[in-house]
Amino acid sequence: MKNRSYRLGCDIGGTFTDFVLADDETGTFSIYKCLTTPADPSDAVETGIKALESQAPGFMAELAEIIHGTTLVINAIIERKGARTGLITTKGFRDVLELGREIRYDAYDIFSEYPEPLVPRALRTEVFERITSDGRVIQSLDQNEVKFVIRSLMDAGIESLAICLINSYENPEHEAKIKTLAEELAPGLSVSASYEVLPQIREYERTSTTVTNAYVKPITVKYLHKLSTRLQSLGFNGKLFIMLSSGGITTASTAGEFPVRIIESGPTAAVIASQHYGRMFGIKDIFCFDMGGTTAKSCLIQKGEAGLVSTFEVGRVQRFKKGSGLPIQVPVVDLMEIGAGGGSIARISKMGLLQVGPESAGAAPGPACYALGGEDPTVTDADLTLGYLDPNYFLGGAMPLDLNAAHRAIDGKVAKPLNATLIEAAFGIHDLINETMAAAAKTHIAEKGGNPNNVTLTAFGGAGPVHAYGLARKIGAPRIIVPPLAGVGSALGFFTAPVAFDLVRSHRVGLDEADFQGIEKLFTDLEEEASAILKQSGDVDGIKFTRSTDMRFLGQGAETNLQIPNKAFNDWRKNEIRHFFDESYKRLYGRTYPDTQVEFISFRVRASLPQHPFQIPRIAPTEGTLQDCVKGNRTAFSLIQKQFITFTVFDRSKLFPGAGIKGPAIIEERESTIVLGEDANAEVDDYGFVWITFV
């Protein structure tokens, strides 16, 4: 049997699909990037694998694992292309998806819109049953009624069923019975029950999350099965892992069962890679900036760790207005979507002003310069017009860009309506997108208690290194790191993610009345459940459990997550837990209330296997000079002088350790381009990282 030394990371984005093939034996990487195929994402996967075969012949037979990130789930929600879904809930809760929290996301907009529920009212049904908040059954379930409801939903043509009953997180007895009956009456029906998807307090969020899981489950299972079959036909017989929104990876079967957990699977990987680089260089405060073809995501890493949040939104009617989307209550890395990518479309707004995004040209038809049928001007068209991109070296020359098409799009749809020159319009597009990202970045950093003047900005994605210099200048970040293979940074970041899974269970009880022995039993049950999920990956040696609990003052509507050192919960004293809570609350809000009682709301467990990160090899020393790395000169637009000046163009693959570059300069590689203004210097370290500082 051959030694399985290869691992493959595959990230399917809105515009490009990225591949990184790592050989753990030699420490070398092979990379490939191609346009995403929206009609069937697995087409691009097969294209990439075949292209990598030319770089590493026969690698499929030695491939130990494929780690995959996909936008399939979030796209299905946004485009409303999921399964026809039915909902069974408790009598009186049929309309919870539309009632929501009854909070207006824009208090002064009387015409504000809200997303349509994923399950129409005709497919939302009720059953007589009732369980109290402490788990007591006060209205038993009528199985004949349940059978009638299931049959009526099947007659209505549902493909998937969501089950969400009141207070089932305390006692799942009724949900389990309904699930069993559904599986008996409709063996091929996809079923999602809230006690398995999200046994957590808050009825609206729990229902929304369970319904979302049910809505995308059939298409996710179908896609993963098709992908697995296609990979096997290409000679793959290793393990297929899927990236979770929480920063871990899981098996394809688990991802198919809980697809709601992979909504943010792709963007999370760049953050995990930034954490890895932070540990590598001893940098604690990092602002991760990942700008691809469709969107840009960012995350503030503090003290070496990216934060996790338990609730986020998808499918917003107003993309950047909180409350206008569907709430999803699963663990996710605390990302902020800046809403800008290379494909973001520039247009004139109703007010006659320049607007860039949030609409994107995507992979089809793409920016005008792709010459694939796109006619709208985009950020990539502007970057090309300003001289930052070489039309003959995009994707290493594999995809030439049409400069004239970019000029026509910008001139016709931006410059002329604004009575501006072509260059003024192109600079306006580039600068506006930088300003939009900077404003969002400053807000995100401030909300987390950070200081942009103290963070190191890490740039990922095909467009990230192009805009990192302009973004750093606007937010005041003193240093930029552009890692090797930055253009495929998410695919590379998959290798640093551990096999992991997060579980939560709500159990509301006051600290003074809490049974610590019972809580320990709850934690151990969660750990056993998480272990069973991890066992699907095969190797379960060295499982690490991390415990935490959500607590709050009595009367509060929001909780504070409290990390609990890992020992038996019944070994803790109540005053110790109270001290942990007060210290955590004081750190977040500046003060605490020692005379006010506190209560437990939810208990969380994260189970993870040891990480198996990649190792970046050192660059071989060279006797060459910096001049040997120069590809030539190119005129490009200066953000400082507001005019075209001469930039020196360098070949990144030829740069050597200690190479120092003074701006203005452009550093090119196949997957991305780094832009340095005249007030910036760059230096290459032993591993090929480009460190950019300002003069």
All structural domains of the chain, each given as residue ranges with its CATH number in brackets, are 6-76+222-262 (3.30.420.40), 82-205 (3.40.50), 500-608 (3.30.1490), 626-694 (no CATH)
Average pLDDT over residues 235-253: 89
Residue 160 pLDDT greater than 90, yes or no: yes
Distance CA(547)–CA(524), nearest Å, equals: 10
Q: Radius of gyration (Cα) for the chain, nearest Å?
A: 26
Average pLDDT over residues 17-46: 86
H/E run at residue 359: strand 354-360
pLDDT at 518: 94
Average pLDDT over residues 250-271: 87
Specify the DSSP class assigned to residue 663. S
The per-residue pLDDT for range 312-367, each reduced to its tens digit, is: 888 777 766 777 888 899 888 888 876 678 888 999 988 889 988 778 787 778 89
Average pLDDT over residues 110-135: 91
Average pLDDT over residues 83-101: 94
Q: Using CA of residue 462, residue 467, residue 472, residue 475, what is the dihedral sign?
A: negative
| Higher local confidence (pLDDT), 168 or 567 | 168
Distance CA(178)–CA(687), nearest Å, equals: 57
pLDDT at 515: 94
Distance CA(310)–CA(328), nearest Å, equals: 8
Average pLDDT over residues 478-498: 88
Residue 1 pLDDT greater than 70, yes or no: no
H/E run at residue 276: helix 265-281
- Nearest Cα neighbor of 29 from 522, 554, 657, 616 is 616
Average pLDDT over residues 397-407: 92
Q: Which two tokens stand for residue 591?
A: 């003060």
**Mean pLDDT over each residue of the chain, to the nearest integer:** 89
- Nearest Cα neighbor of 165 from 191, 141, 190 is 141
Contact 345, 382 (CB under 8 A): no
Residues 6+ apart with CB under 8 A from 352: 417
Helix/strand/coil (H, E, C) string of 187-234? CCCEEEEHHHHCCCCCHHHHHHHHHHHHHHHHHHHHHHHHHHHHHHHC
Looking at the chain, the whole-number percentage of residues with pLDDT higher than 70 is 99
Q: Angle, to 10 degrees, between the axis of helix 422-447 and the axis of helix 464-475?
A: 70
Classified as helix, coil or strand, 391 is coil
Residue 100 pLDDT greater than 60, yes or no: yes
Distance CA(657)–CA(684), nearest Å, equals: 5
pLDDT at 339: 63
With vertex at residue 693, the alpha carbon angle to CA 688 and CA 695, rounded to the nearest 5 degrees, is: 140
Residue 415 pLDDT greater than 80, yes or no: yes
Contact 191, 148 (CB under 8 A): no
Residues 6+ apart with CB under 8 A from 10: 17, 18, 19, 45, 48, 66, 67, 68, 69, 491
Distance CA(348)–CA(167), nearest Å, equals: 50
Distance CA(221)–CA(188), nearest Å, equals: 13
Average pLDDT over residues 13-23: 85
The per-residue pLDDT for range 175-220, each reduced to its tens digit, is: 999 999 999 999 999 999 999 999 999 999 999 999 999 999 999 9
Distance CA(3)–CA(62), nearest Å, equals: 6
pLDDT at 668: 94
114-124 burial, b if ≥16 CB within 10 A, otherwise e?
A: bbebbbeeebb
The per-residue pLDDT for range 314-329, each reduced to its tens digit, is: 877 776 677 788 889 9
Residue 2 pLDDT greater than 60, yes or no: no
Looking at the chain, the whole-number percentage of residues with pLDDT higher than 90 is 56
Between the alpha carbon of residue 1 and those of residues 56, 61, 223, 235, 362, the distances in Å are 18, 10, 30, 14, 43
Strands 332-333 and 326-328: unpaired
Between the alpha carbon of residue 112 and those of residues 77, 80, 321, 546, the distances in Å are 20, 20, 11, 41
Task: Give me the phi and psi of 500, to 5 degrees please.
Answer: -155, 160
Average pLDDT over residues 79-102: 91
Contact 316, 115 (CB under 8 A): yes
| Higher local confidence (pLDDT), 296 or 642 | 642
Confidence of residue 267 (pLDDT cuts 50, 70, 90): confident
Largest distance between two CA atoms of the chain: 83
